[in-house]
Amino acid sequence: MGTILVTGGAGYIGSHVARQLGERSERIVTLDNLSTGFRAAVLYGDLVVGDTGDATTVARVLRDYGVDTVMHFAAHIVVPESVADPLKYYRNNTASTRTLLQCCVEAGVRHFVFSSTAAVYGIPAGGVASEDTPTAPINPYGRSKLMSEWMLADVAAATPLRYAALRYFNVAGADPGGRIGQSTPAATHLIKVACEHVVGKRDHVAIFGTDYDTPDGTGVRDYIHVEDLAAAHLNALDYLRGGGAPVTLNCGYGRGFSVREVLDCVAAVASRPLTIREAPRRAGDPPTLVAEARLIGRILDWVPHYRDLPGIVGTALAWEWTLTDRGTDDVARTEQAKLSSPVVA
């Protein structure tokens, strides 16, 4: 087996996948520019500090490490930011993926696992999206990822490279072993925000919209534990190594929770009431977005183990306490990590 290149392996989802790969004794190398990632999140293999849009660096890593598989996580992921600064997203998510793919083709990389998103569906009718629901992204973030999916499909049709594109729904939770988690400063995701409130980093949680056409008026999402999501990538790797054809799969559980249900759960897990403020709808939010999620189980033999919401919230909250107990804020930790870490340059 060749080495697996994990781009964005110092980030939230990439670091969980890299950890599971390392635990399985796979040979891995991480490429991350540390713009939002953390050196301390790289638990296995070398970290090369660099950009996926830098063809020279990528080509060197593919050659020096004998890479035959790429798992591509490096991306910007904040939807409102993509609306305000679309070219940042088309450069970092789309153009860099093009560069990476070109290097992969030139180096003869055989397998590519791509981190895609449910945002490619936009606002699907009925709030449930299956893999053949028409794609209709409503923001630059979703479009930047969908364009990468299209490039992958075209490259796979023209070269021996085969891929799995995984469309993530709402990823949350943290490593059950407590070693890594979501450390992003200025987080916007509901469960992370609520956990920051519990540990005292925010004085309240806002509910964005209470007048949606949903059972309790708040937005409904399909929350998937990062540990199950990471495992799906290892299954995708096995599938491709076994000769599987290119495939695009939803990553969710096929069930939704409302914002109020999530906040009730956080309060129950934390054993304390939350300070909640009702706020207007957030631009671009669909009322309901839930995965039709049967295909991934069938194609990848993927069996989730962390479906229950209290477990997702519990690991997210435990990680938030870990960050707090370390006594330094996220930004300071990033700077410190950048200055003091031994890295492959």
Identify the residue among 29, 129, 190, 323 touching ligand UFG (CB under 6 A): 190
Is 253 an active-site residue?
no
283 binds ligand UFG (CB under 6 A): no
Closest approach, Cβ 270 to ligand UFG, in A, equals 16
Q: Would you say 79 or 180 has its CB closer to ligand UFG?
A: 79
219 binds ligand UFG (CB under 6 A): yes
Closest approach, Cβ 295 to ligand UFG, in A, equals 18
What distance in Å separates the CA atoms of residue 10 and residue 274, rounded to the nearest whole number?
Answer: 31
What distance in Å separates the CA atoms of residue 297 and residue 235, rounded to the nearest whole number?
Answer: 10
Closest approach, Cβ 141 to ligand UFG, in A, equals 6
Identify the residue among 16, 39, 72, 189 touching ligand UFG (CB under 6 A): 189
Cβ density class 246-281: b for 16+ within 10 Å, e for less: bbbbbbbbbebbbbbbbbebbbebbeeeeebeeeee
29 binds ligand UFG (CB under 6 A): no
Of 141, 168, 253, 306, which one is the catalytic site residue? 141
Closest approach, Cβ 263 to ligand UFG, in A, equals 8
User: Cα torsion for 219, 317, 225, 329, to the nearest 10°?
Assistant: 90
Q: Which two tokens stand for residue 10?
A: 């110092």
170 binds ligand UFG (CB under 6 A): yes
Task: Output the DSSP codes for 13-41.
Answer: HHHHHHHHHHHTT--EEEEE--SS--GGG
165 binds ligand UFG (CB under 6 A): no
Per CB under 6 A, which of residues 115..154 are in contact with ligand UFG? 117-119, 141
Closest approach, Cβ 193 to ligand UFG, in A, equals 4
User: Sign of dihedral through CA atoms 197, 117, 62, 237?
Assistant: positive
Task: Output the DSSP codes for 76-135.
Answer: ---HHHHHH-HHHHIIIIIIHHHHHHHHHHHHT--EEEEEEEGGGG-S-GGGEE-TTSPP
Identify the residue among 156, 206, 276, 344 touching ligand UFG (CB under 6 A): 206
What residues act catalytically? 141
Task: Report the interface residues with ligand UFG, using CB under 6 A.
Answer: 77, 79, 117-119, 141, 170, 188-190, 193, 205-209, 219, 221, 259, 282, 285, 289
